Amino acid sequence: MYAVIDVETTGGSPSSDRVVEIAVIVFDGDKIIDSYETLLNPGRAIDPYVTKLTGITQEMVQSAPTFQQVHQRILELTNENIFVAHNVKFDFGMLRQEFRRLGIDFNRRQIDTVNLARKALPGFESYSLGNICDSLGIDITNRHRAYGDAEATVRLFSMILSKPAAARYIEIELNHGIDMDLLPPYLSKAEIEKLPEDAGVFYYKDEVGKVLYLDSSKNIRKKVISEFSKPADSAEMKRMFELVRNIDYELSGNELIAKLLAYRETKLHLPEFNKKPRIQVFTHGIFIDVDEAGFNQLKIHPLDWQNGTLMMRFVSKAIANKVLGKIIKDNSLHTWFAVRSKMKEKGIDAKSQKNFNSNIERAIKKHLYKHFSFFVIGTGIHPDEHSVIWIENNIYKGFGYFNPELTEATPANLKEIIKHDEDDMESQKIIRGHLRKLKNSKIITY
């Protein structure tokens, strides 16, 4: 038996928004057995966008019951039934949070008709409820209202159930997306069910605990399930599938540290089925030297050069030359070089020289990172902690974790909690990519 559900809410956040309308249709796979719908007083303002979309106003819910007043009816309608919704993660998440506020742990087996439709009814451009129903000729009598959308979901679900492979697709959905037929032969479903839906690194291990393969993800369980959702169609994959016996993991708190940790672990374990990391030894660097007239100049030297300030490191002189050429071009430094030449000929102005030197420093510093020495603060593994990544003089130092209530986020304190890691071009690439992707990352400079 299925409980097909749709909710309308004050907004999109389960932690702060509330349900303003709910519809539950009990469906046995052939006909509707029972149904229930009601507006709810959320005890807070409805987002104007939601009102525009649904037509539900503050006045309409003013005299409606609260969730607490109707929760028993919802428990009865969903008891021992499979919770079905279109994008079930949202509807279930909103309801579960409502029950949590009442001290009730609401758990139901779930089916997402979005996932089912993609498998049973392939080939459509969009699987949003409105678009897929329109494509299939399913009329939605009251779009963006709980009962209208729930009724349309019942009709879509009924169409899916009529397909020959429906039972198999439903079994996969109820197994958290795990297709038992595609799992490695000696790996149990329990090994995947134990995995967290959090950021970190996961390890495929053989019978003696040797790491065969590892990778990072912001959602470990989701990534592993996706990797085992397709057949092992290469000789290498078939061999790994034969060897893997269990899956281990290490949480990181966020995706950036997961990637850095995975890279470090790959270098440490050299797993058979991972791409081997290149051994990178820095040999040359771009230095800022000061000439006899007091002007900054960018020079490439071996790393043991003693007469300048090291700004960037490279694995070869050729790469250093290439990067220096790009820095000069991107920052139009040839123009400044011309200014320097004229000043040397006609007389050096202290203010102009200072501007020149500052511009040279800015040009090279912003190529690798926006700041020269800084910390990146992110989410930690536990709710009451933060993560920190340390970059000093453009060199990645490592990462660590701290409790902001116990440790003030000063440079001196943060340096103490860092677990050292190696800096190389791949680490730089990972960090730069993250900072470009998440421009609002919290940065502490010094």
Residue pLDDT tens, the chain, 446 long: 999 999 999 988 888 899 999 999 999 999 999 999 999 999 999 999 899 999 999 999 999 999 999 999 999 999 999 999 999 989 998 999 999 999 998 989 899 999 899 989 999 999 999 999 999 999 999 999 999 999 999 999 999 999 999 998 898 888 767 777 888 999 988 888 888 888 999 999 999 999 999 999 999 988 999 889 888 889 999 999 999 999 999 999 999 999 999 999 999 999 999 999 887 889 999 999 999 999 999 999 999 998 889 988 999 999 999 999 999 999 999 999 998 999 988 888 889 999 999 999 889 877 878 888 999 999 999 878 999 999 998 899 999 999 998 899 999 999 999 999 999 889 999 999 999 888 778 999 99
- DSSP H/E element including 218: none
Q: How far apart are CA 274 and CA 212, in angstroms?
A: 8
CA 406 to chain centre: 28
Q: Helix (H, G, I), strand (E, B), or coil: what is residue 227? A: helix
Closest CA to 381 of 212, 209, 261: 261
Tokens of 304: 């043991």
Q: How far apart are CA 23 and CA 9, in angstroms?
A: 12
The upper half-sphere exposure of residue 204, i.e. CA atoms within 13 Å in the direction of its Cβ, equals: 26
> Same CATH topology for 2-174 and 180-269?
no
Which residues does residue 288 pair with via DSSP β-bridges, in sequence order? 298, 309
The upper half-sphere exposure of residue 265, i.e. CA atoms within 13 Å in the direction of its Cβ, equals: 24
State the CB neighbour count (10 A cutoff) for residue 369.
Answer: 18
Tokens of 272: 């058979």
- Can you give the pTM of this predicted structure? 0.62
Fold of 180-269: GIY-YIG endonuclease (3.40.1440)
C-alpha triplet 128, 133, 134: angle, nearest 5°: 105
Closest CA to 261 of 217, 227, 211: 217
pLDDT tens-digit series, residues 246-279: 999 999 999 999 999 999 999 999 999 999 988 7
pLDDT tens-digit series, residues 135-146: 999 999 999 999
- For the structural domain made of 2-174, what CATH number should be given? 3.30.420.10
pLDDT tens-digit series, residues 196-205: 888 999 999 9
State the CB neighbour count (10 A cutoff) for residue 413.
Answer: 13
Q: Any idea where the domains of the chain sit in the sequence? A: 2-174, 180-269, 284-365, 374-445
State the CB neighbour count (10 A cutoff) for residue 391.
Answer: 24
Closest CA to 35 of 66, 57, 61, 2: 2
Sheet holding 211-217, edge to edge: 211-217, 200-205, 246-251
